[in-house]
Structures are given as C-alpha cells and as structure tokens.
C-alpha cells in the first residue's frame, strides 16, 4: 500500500509541474480568449535568459530580476506589436498570431543565447526525503511549495483587486470594456507580463529538471490535457487538472503499463482529456459558453 | 433642466467620417443642451450609429471636432470619452455575458474607484470601505431599474428585453453626464418599449442625465425627446423640436420615400 501512495503522491507532485505551465495559458485565455501557443516559447526564453546570465557570473537574484524585466518588456512588445493591431479579430486570427510569435521568440532566444543545452542548478537536490514513511522527491516538494505561493499571489491579485473584474470584462467584450474606460492595452500588458512571470517560474523549475534546451518549449504540450480537464478559464482548474494528469499518468504507468508493455505515461493524459471532451467539454471548472439561440 | 448655461453640453462641428473613401457622415453639426433628451432618427444606413461611435471615440472623424462641456476635442479615444463622463449602450447588446448582473453593473463603476490595486490586494480598510460603497451605488442603480430579482443571475441567460435594461444599468452606474443609447428598444414588444421609455425618462428626470438616443419607432421618439435630429445618407436633414421635425417637408420625404 505504501508503494501505491508513493506513486500517487509522486504523481501529484509531478502534476504540479504541469499546472505551473497550464496557469500561464489560463491567464491569457481569460483575458483575451486566445490559446497562447507562444507560452512554451516564453518558458524557454525565460529559462534560457536566466541560465545564460547565471553562467556569465551574474548573481542568482539579479539574474532573476533581469530576466523578469526582460519578460515584462516582451509582454509590452507583444501587446504593442501584435495584440493592439489585432483587436476585435477572431480567436483563430489571434491563435495564428501566437503561433508565429512562438517561433519568433524561439528564434530570438536562439540568436541571443545560442543553441547548446545548459544545466541549471537551483540548489535543491532531487534526493528523496522520507515523509511519514513515504519517500518523496525534495525537488518535487519544493516545486509544489513554489506553485502554492504563486497561486496564492495570483488569486489575491485577480480576486481582491478590480483587475479581476476588468480582466473578465475585457475577455467577454473588448469594445464594451473600452466604453467603460477600462484600458484594454494596460490589462493585456499586465496579463502578458504576469504570464511571463509564471513562465519564468515554470522555466526555472522545468529547466532544473530537464536541462535548459529547446525541447523545453514542447513541455507545454503536456499542459493541453491539463487545460482540457481543468477548464481553460480557471486557475484552480489548472491546479486540479495538473494533479489529475500527474497522478493518472504515474498510476497508469505503474499498474496498467506492465499489462500492455509500458510506455503509457506519454499518451494516457491525452486519452483522459479526450474522454473529458466527450463528457464535459468545458472541463471541471471551466465556464460553459452561453449562447442564446 | 438643472443647468441654465447657454453653452450646450455637446456640440458637433462639421463632423465628417468616411470608411475607405465611402462617406458615412458628411459635415454634420448639432448641439445637445444640458439635461435634454435628444433623438437621432433616420433610415437604416443614415449614419446614426457611426455618429455615436464618433462621440464616444470608437471612430475618429476625418474632419470636424467635438465640443464637450466647453472644451474642443479634435478626436476622442474611448477611455478619454469615458473619463469625460460619456457612457453608452450598444445596438447589439454588448454585455459581459459570463458575469452576474451585479458584476456587470459594477464594471460600470470602473472609473469611479480610487483605491490603488495594492491597497485592494492587501485588503486594507479603505479598500474595503470603497468596495462597500461601490456595491451600494451599484445596488441603487439596480433598484432604480427594477432589476433586483435578477441581480445574481448570469446575464447571458436573461431574456433579451432584460439584457437591454442591464446594459442601461451598467452605463448608468458610471454616473455619466452624457448617455448614448443605440436603439435601446430595438426588437422589443409594445409593453417592453413602454417600460423602457419610462426608465429612460426617469433617468433623465431623476439623475439629470443628458441623453442622446437612436430609435426607429417614431411614436416613441416623439413622445420621449425634447430635441430630434434627422439624418439621411450621412447628412443632417432636420433639427428641432419633435413638432418642428414632424412638419419638415424634407423629413417627410425621406420617411415616406417620395422624392421629386
């Protein structure tokens, strides 16, 4: 039984790492109704910038702040050059724009910092820690704690301030929001900057786990089942979705894997997501689209 | 009328607007006095909605200017118009469909909030007091428009006529000096129209709000407004009291379609 719990909790903790990526998507989806394909590129860009600064002898904290500044600058640029000219266009147009953006950001990161793989050490070892008789990864616990703090900060920012309401207003009807004096451009810039910050945190944790390299931008594909299960519009949903995906894929690998020859972990979450699409298309916590006919 | 100043609240001076060379509005000028209800009428495509969009900054006119409360603006941006105290509703309902009625009305008070987001995030007393005050103000508007039974409903699920009223509530929550209503009664039955006219007249009387509205139902317009401006093909063809406009031969021709 201990083994089952070890697998389960290990899976849940791994799931938190997926949630971190998914939160970045949720933020932008909530504010502009668009699936931001460039989120992965932003994660990569953040991790690569940070690790390159670190390797050039910049102290940890300073490197973090400089990278954060770079992410905010990137957000402002995206708002100015992409979102503002495309206001009131269809979601598919915006999606295609983020697709293009994704390759531009990757290319820019590559131009700036090169293509080699970097190791990243955050000073947290991956050695197992015994908690109540269970062996858990120290690093996973650290990642989970980071995610918890991040979610707490975001929920205060978006639930306690008027920004939350403005954000949802902008997502529902940009033109009407404008007529109320809500500054669309400022909201978008803030949301993309916060998504950039979330990308930075995710980039550091994922970079420390997998090494900072270009495949990091593909990690985001694991966020898709998380978003489908949790719902595209809820940060809480991203957390729960991540936990479900993490736990499900590890349990499936351990208990179902041997029956079919293993390798389940990589596709099981997508199968689960498909099931959710059939049964509950808006996800567990997503808002169902309301259309009057 | 609360204001006795001779200066109008709004004046359009020689406004022209074209889309890719197609003229939507040609050289239009008129004034709206403090506290009046001014109706914009005219056949479809006459440029009425475009004109509202110019006034609240969605479109910028190629020529002309807008005086608002004595200050001349070559062009306005939407948030600037909102800051000046211009609120509006839309022809096709533009509510925040996934939010509750109360939240929709609260968004209308966006510019009336003074607290910094940091004090809100920290939940400081002044932020909480402000939150309470905003809620109270929103509730007052909801009560005024008899919307209490639906205050917690998601507006996307409300019937059409009610949604139109919620849009009025959201605009009114901003405590505007000038309220622009783009076909507030479109698609309503006679009973709903009567109700809406009543709310519009009450808004004007109790809140002292100056109104500019677009409406097709001539009966409603004549009963409701102090001042009527008639547009046809982007030009102004009539401007005066309902009675004056009713007797204007050019207006009659445009409406009956008899041209010489």
CB nearest to A162's CB, from B90, B97, B110: B110
Dihedral angle at the C-alpha atoms of A48, A50, A56, A62, nearest 10 degrees?
A: 170
Confidence (pLDDT) at A291: 47
Which H or E run includes B18? strand B10-19
- pLDDT at residue B117 greater than cutoff 80: no
- pLDDT at residue B31 greater than cutoff 50: yes
Domain annotation for chain B: domains and CATH numbers: 1-85+176-260 (3.40.50.300), 96-173 (no CATH)
Mutation for A interface: B55, B78, B162, most A CBs within 10 A: B78
Q: What angle do CA A90, A91, A96 make, to 5 degrees?
A: 105
* In contact, A43 and A216? CB cutoff 8 Å: yes
Confidence (pLDDT) at B227: 94
Q: What's the DSSP call for residue B189?
A: -
Inspect the interface and report whether the beta carbons of B120 and A161 lie closer than 8 Å. yes
* In contact, A131 and A13? CB cutoff 8 Å: no
The 10s digit of each residue's pLDDT in A236-268 is 889 999 999 999 999 998 888 888 877 788 888
Of residues B2 and B118, more confidently modeled = B118
Cβ atoms within 10 Å of A284's Cβ, excluding its own: 16
Annotated domain spans of chain A: 2-279
- pLDDT at residue B35 greater than cutoff 90: yes
Instruction: Work out the pLDDT band at B257, boundaries 50, 70, 90.
Output: low
Residue A162 distance to chain B (closest CA, Å): 7
- pLDDT at residue B122 greater than cutoff 60: yes
Instruction: Work out the pLDDT band at A288, boundaries 50, 70, 90.
Output: low
Strand B22-32: give its sheet, edge to edge: B22-32, B10-19, B63-68, B71-73
Cβ atoms within 10 Å of B1's Cβ, excluding its own: 12
The residues in B 126-145 lying below 8 A from A, measured between CB atoms, are none
Q: How many CB pairs under 8 A join A and B?
A: 87
- pLDDT at residue A189 greater than cutoff 50: yes
Q: What is the mean pLDDT of residues B188-203?
A: 92
Confidence (pLDDT) at A292: 44
Q: What is the mean pLDDT of residues B40-49?
A: 86
State if pTM tops 0.90: no
Conformational region of residue A149, where left means phi above 0, alpha means psi within -120 to 50, and beta covers everything else: alpha
Helix (H, G, I), strand (E, B) or coil at A266: coil
Confidence (pLDDT) at A128: 81
Confidence (pLDDT) at A49: 94
DSSP string, B108-135: TTGGG--S-HHHHHTT-HHHHHHHHHHH
Q: What is the mean pLDDT of residues A152-174?
A: 84
Quick one: how far is CA B176 from the chain centroid? 9
Mutation for B interface: A176, A288, A290, most B CBs within 10 A: A176
Strand B37-41: give its sheet, edge to edge: B86-88, B178-182, B210-214, B37-41, B227-232, B235-240
Of residues A31 and A149, more confidently modeled = A149
Confidence (pLDDT) at A240: 92
CB nearest to B110's CB, from A156, A157, A181: A181
- What ipTM describes this predicted complex? 0.84
Q: What angle do CA B12, B13, B15 make, to 5 degrees?
A: 85
Inspect the interface and report whether the beta carbons of A163 and B117 lie closer than 8 Å. yes
How far apart are the C-alpha atoms of B202 and A240, rounded to whole Å? 49
How far apart are the C-alpha atoms of B106 and B95, rounded to whole Å? 12
Inspect the interface and report whether the beta carbons of B99 and A168 lie closer than 8 Å. yes
Inspect the interface and report whether the beta carbons of B107 and A182 lie closer than 8 Å. yes
- pLDDT at residue A131 greater than cutoff 80: no
Q: What is the mean pLDDT of residues A12-32?
A: 88
Mutation for B interface: A173, A179, A285, most B CBs within 10 A: A179
Quote the percentage of chain A above a pLDDT of 70.
98
Inspect the interface and report whether the beta carbons of A180 and B103 lie closer than 8 Å. no
CB nearest to B94's CB, from A160, A173, A291: A173
Residue A151 distance to chain B (closest CA, Å): 14
Taken in order A192, A196, A201, A206, the sign of the CA dihedral is positive
Q: Does A179 touch chain B (CB under 8 A)?
A: yes
The 10s digit of each residue's pLDDT in B52-90 is 999 999 888 889 999 999 899 998 899 899 999 999 999
CB nearest to B103's CB, from A165, A287, A290: A165
Which H or E run includes B220? helix B218-224
> Helical H runs in A33-137?
39-55, 60-78, 91-113
Q: Which among A152, A189, A156, A153 is positioned nearest to A32, based on CA atoms?
A: A189
CB nearest to B154's CB, from A160, A163, A290: A290
The listed range with the strongest mean pLDDT (A25-29, A47-51, B21-25) is: A47-51
| CB contact burial B154-190 (16+ within 10 A = b; e otherwise) | bbbebeebbbbbbbbbbbbbbbbbbbbbbbbbbebee
How far apart are the C-alpha atoms of B150 and B128, rounded to whole Å? 25
Q: Which among B143, B213, B140, B141 is positioned nearest to B178, based on CA atoms?
A: B213
Q: Which among B112, B80, B84, B121 is positioned nearest to B10, based on CA atoms?
A: B84
Confidence (pLDDT) at A135: 78
Q: What is the mean pLDDT of residues B125-147?
A: 91
Confidence (pLDDT) at A226: 92
Quote the percentage of chain B above a pLDDT of 70.
96
Confidence (pLDDT) at B260: 46
CATH number of A2-279: 1.10.3470
How far apart are the C-alpha atoms of B15 and B31, rounded to whole Å? 12
Inspect the interface and report whether the beta carbons of A168 and B98 lie closer than 8 Å. yes
* In contact, B154 and A290? CB cutoff 8 Å: yes
Quick one: how far is CA A269 from the chain centroid? 16
The residues in B 177-206 lying below 8 A from A, measured between CB atoms, are none
Q: What angle do CA A70, A104, A55 make, to 5 degrees?
A: 45
Helix (H, G, I), strand (E, B) or coil at B233: coil
The 10s digit of each residue's pLDDT in A74-114 is 988 988 898 888 877 888 898 899 999 999 999 999 888 88
- pLDDT at residue B153 greater than cutoff 90: yes
């Amino acid at each position: 039984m201990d083994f089952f719990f070890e697998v389960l909790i290990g899976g849940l903790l791994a799931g938190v790492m997926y949630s971190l990526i998914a939160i970045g998507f949720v933020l932008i989806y909530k504010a502009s109704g668009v699936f931001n394909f460039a989120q992965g590129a932003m994660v990569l860009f953040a991790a690569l910038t940070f690790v390159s600064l670190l390797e050039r002898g910049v102290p940890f904290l300073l490197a973090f702040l400089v990278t954060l500044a770079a992410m905010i600058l990137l957000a402002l640029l995206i708002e100015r050059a992409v979102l503002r000219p495309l206001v009131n266009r269809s979601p598919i147009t915006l999606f295609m724009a983020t697709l293009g953006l994704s390759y531009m950001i990757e290319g820019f990161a590559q131009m700036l910092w090169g293509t080699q793989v970097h190791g990243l050490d955050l000073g947290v070892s991956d050695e197992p820690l015994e908690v109540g008789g269970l062996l858990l990864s120290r690093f996973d616990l650290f990642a989970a704690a980071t995610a918890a703090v991040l979610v707490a900060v975001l929920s205060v920012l978006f639930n306690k301030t008027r920004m939350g309401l403005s954000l949802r207003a902008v997502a529902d009807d940009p033109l009407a929001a404008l007529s109320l004096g809500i500054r669309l451009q400022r909201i978008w810039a803030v949301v993309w900057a916060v998504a950039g910050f979330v990308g930075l945190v995710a980039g550091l944790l994922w970079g420390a786990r997998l090494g900072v390299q270009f495949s990091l931008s593909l990690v985001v594909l694991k966020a898709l089942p998380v978003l489908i299960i949790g719902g595209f519009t809820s940060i809480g949903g991203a957390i729960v979705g991540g936990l479900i995906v993490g736990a499900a894929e590890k349990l499936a690998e351990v208990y179902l894997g041997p029956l079919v020859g293993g390798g389940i972990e990589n596709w099981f979450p997508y199968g689960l997501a498909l099931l959710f699409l059939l049964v509950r298309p808006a996800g567990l916590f997503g808002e169902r689209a309301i259309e009057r006919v | 009328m609360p204001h006795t100043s001779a200066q109008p609240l709004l004046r359009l001076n020689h406004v022209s607007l074209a889309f890719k060379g197609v003229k939507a509005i040609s050289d239009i000028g008129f004034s709206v006095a403090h506290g009046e209800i001014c109706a914009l009428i005219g056949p479809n495509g006459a440029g009425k909605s475009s004109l509202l969009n110019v006034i609240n900054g969605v479109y910028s006119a190629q020529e002309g200017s807008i005086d608002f409360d004595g200050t001349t603006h070559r062009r306005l941006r939407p948030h600037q118009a909102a800051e000046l105290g211009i609120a509006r509703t839309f022809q096709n309902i533009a509510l925040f469909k996934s939010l509750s009625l109360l939240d929709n009305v609260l968004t209308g008070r966006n510019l009336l909030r003074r607290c910094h987001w940091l004090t809100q995030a920290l939940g400081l007393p002044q932020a909480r007091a402000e939150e309470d005050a905003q809620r109270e103000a929103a509730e007052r508007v909801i009560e005024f428009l008899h919307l209490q039974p639906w205050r917690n409903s998601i507006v996307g699920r409300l019937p059409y006529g009610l949604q139109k009223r919620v849009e009025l509530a959201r605009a009114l929550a901003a405590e505007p000096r000038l309220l622009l209503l783009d076909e507030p009664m479109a698609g309503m039955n006679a009973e709903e129209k009567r109700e809406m006219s009543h709310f519009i007249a009450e808004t004007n009387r109790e809140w002292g709000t100056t109104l500019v509205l677009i409406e097709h139902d001539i009966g409603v317009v004549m009963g409701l407004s102090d001042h009527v401006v008639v547009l046809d093909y982007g030009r102004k063809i009539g401007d005066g009291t309902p009675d004056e406009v009713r007797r204007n031969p050019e207006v009659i021709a445009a409406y009956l379609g008899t041209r010489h």
